[in-house]
Amino acid sequence: MEVTRRQALTAAAGAAVGAAGAVGGVRLKEHLDESTPLPFYGSPVSAVRPDRTPPSAASASVVWGGAGGAGGAGGAGGAGGAGGGADQRRVALTFDDGPHPDWTPRVLAALAAQDVPATFFCLGRNVRDHGGLHRESVGRHELANHTFEHPDLGRLDWSQCRDEIARTTRLMEDTYGATPTLFRPPYGHLGGASLLAAAEAGLTTVLWSAQAREDLVSGRPDGIVDDIASQVRPGSIVLMHDTGSQDRLVTIDRLPAIIRRLRDDGYGFVTVSDLLAGTRASATTPSHG
């Protein structure tokens, strides 16, 4: 009987499947390692523990915004999350990389002057050197984990990500007497390993849905107010910095104006945790209607 080309290809495919089943787990792993550009286990993109033991977390949570704004994936407070809604025009201001002895006090003063809470994603090394700057922030603002040395976690394996996160959490506990519940990866870079490490540490990974884009307003610094306002929606998480390159001072210098503009647009201010929980904005928000 003549064998058609289709029959021959089907038979070859079946033989390949049978062979794959015969090689067993070890040979299959070797095959995968050889045919993929990164190691099958233990690489920065792998969300599986290197020793293949079960993770201590049942799920991971990543959010870009709160209810009514840009949604999150797999976590509370994403689109359709608990509480809140588009009728609550709430926004969370966040500041990365501090505390810094010159910048952070300026940010705290601007927030205090208008009774605005914020969330600070702190670097462990800066908490070690300047942690006292936030001693009065506990209870007023939210302090969160931003790693110790600000590495690109997209390039680190699970154990390195775990150590960066754990080292910072321990230091913040010792310094402020409170355990952070939120985590932001430097540069917004996520790999499977960093997502797993954050989840196992019990942290919600927080990115952002609006940001200070100082590079777009070079030569016209007052434009930062309009640029941020144009990005904000109900539930937005706004990324800013309380240390860094000098161009970021454009935002720090105009923080009072940014707050006033968002209030004029009908927004109230909450911490990220309150945003995700659907907590109403502070009573200082002007009434509209």
Which conformational region is residue 239 in: left (phi greater than 0), alpha (psi within -120 to 50 degrees), or beta? Answer: beta
Residue among 96, 157, 242, 274 flagged as catalytic: 96
Task: Judge whether 206 lies within some domain.
Answer: yes
Q: Determine the Cα–Cα distance for residues 271 and 280; give it in Å rounded to an integer.
A: 10
Q: Are 289 and 256 in contact (CB under 8 A)?
A: no
Rounded Cα gap, residues 195 and 231, in angstroms: 27
pTM of the model: 0.81
Q: Is 31 a catalytic residue?
A: no
What is the count of structural domains for the chain?
1
Residue 9 falls within a domain, yes or no? no
- Asked if pLDDT for residue 199 goes beyond 80, the answer is yes
Domain of 159, CATH number, reads 3.20.20.370
Side chain identity at residue 122, one-letter code: C
In a domain, 34, yes or no: no
What's the mean pLDDT in 45-70? 89
Residue 212 reports pLDDT greater than 90:
yes
CA dihedral (203, 243, 117, 112) positive or negative: positive
Task: Kindly state whether residue 215 falls inside one of the protein's structural domains.
Answer: yes
How far apart CA 84 and CA 235 sit, in angstroms, is 9
Any domain includes 57: no
Q: Check pLDDT > 90 for residue 86.
A: no
| Mean of the per-residue pLDDT values of the chain | 86
Report if residue 2 sits inside a domain.
no
Lowest-confidence range among 39-48, 88-97, 128-137, 253-262? 39-48
Residue 32 lies in a domain: no
pLDDT at 287: 39
Instruction: Tell me which of 31-45, 113-127, 140-154 is least confident.
Output: 31-45
Known catalytic residue: 96?
yes
State residue 4's pLDDT score: 54
Range of the domain at 131: 62-66+88-283
Is residue 4, in this structure, part of any structural domain at all? no
Q: Please give the average per-residue pLDDT across 279-289, as a whole number.
A: 49
**Among the options 100, 130, 241, 242, which is catalytic?**
241
Give per-residue pLDDT as tens, 15-53: 444 444 444 667 776 776 677 777 778 999 999 999 999
Q: Is the predicted pLDDT of residue 202 greater than 50, yes or no?
A: yes
* Alpha helix positions (H), the chain: 5-35, 103-113, 124-130, 158-176, 192-200, 223-231, 249-253, 255-264, 272-277
Q: Does the pLDDT value for residue 73 go beyond 50?
A: no
